[in-house]
Amino acid sequence: MVVRMDDACCGGLHSDAVADVRSGQLAEPLVLTLSEAFKALADPTRIRMLHCLLRRELCVCDLAEALGMTQSAVSHQLRYLRTLRIVKNRRDGNAIYYTCDDAHIAGLLQMGIDHAMHAGANEGG
């Protein structure tokens, strides 16, 4: 394999460091999958929605009311989460109930919450 060091800065001094880091790189598809997952959690609205839907099943309008959002906004975000298979829905009459039983997302969110709660305390500066 060819490792280009044409435009190497540092006079190419650290080519070993670059090679080392390069060998440990994450595969591109993995990186994309990862960023996609984190992106789902990278918005206040979606965090609130998921936190609710992890707690219990809710129909769209109840979710909208609980969050003080319009039905349309909630529905658009639900479509987003549905596309990523993060939430599921079931129909009952003309209401549609959503849930989130995605263990991965739940784990990441919970870990984030735990971290955020502790943060600020050990911000040594």
Partner DNA sequence: CCCTTACATGAGCATATATTCATATACTTT
Partner DNA sequence: AAAGTATATGAATATATGCTCATGTAAGGG
Q: Kindly state whether residue 91 participates in binding DNA, applying the rule CB under 7 A.
A: yes
Q: Kindly state whether residue 15 participates in binding DNA, applying the rule CB under 7 A.
A: no
Q: Kindly state whether residue 52 participates in binding DNA, applying the rule CB under 7 A.
A: no
User: Binding residue for DNA (CB under 7 A) from 18, 84, 96, 106?
Assistant: 96
Name the strands in the sheet holding 88-92, side by side, starting at the edge strand that comes first in the sequence: 58-59, 95-99, 88-92
Query: What is the number of other CB atoms lying within 10 angstroms of the CB of residue 64?
Result: 19
The nearest distance, CB 100 to its own copies, in angstroms, is: 13
3-state SS string for 30-57: HHHHHHHHHHHCCCHHHHHHHHHHHHCC
Q: Kindly state whether residue 85 participates in binding its own copies, applying the rule CB under 8 A.
A: yes
Among 28, 26, 23, 39, smallest CA distance to 86 is for 39
Q: Considering the complex, state which of residue 51 and residue 89 has its C-beta at the smaller distance from its own copies.
A: 51
- Which residues make up the interface to DNA (CB under 7 A)? 9-11, 39, 42-46, 59-61, 69-73, 75-80, 89, 91, 93-97
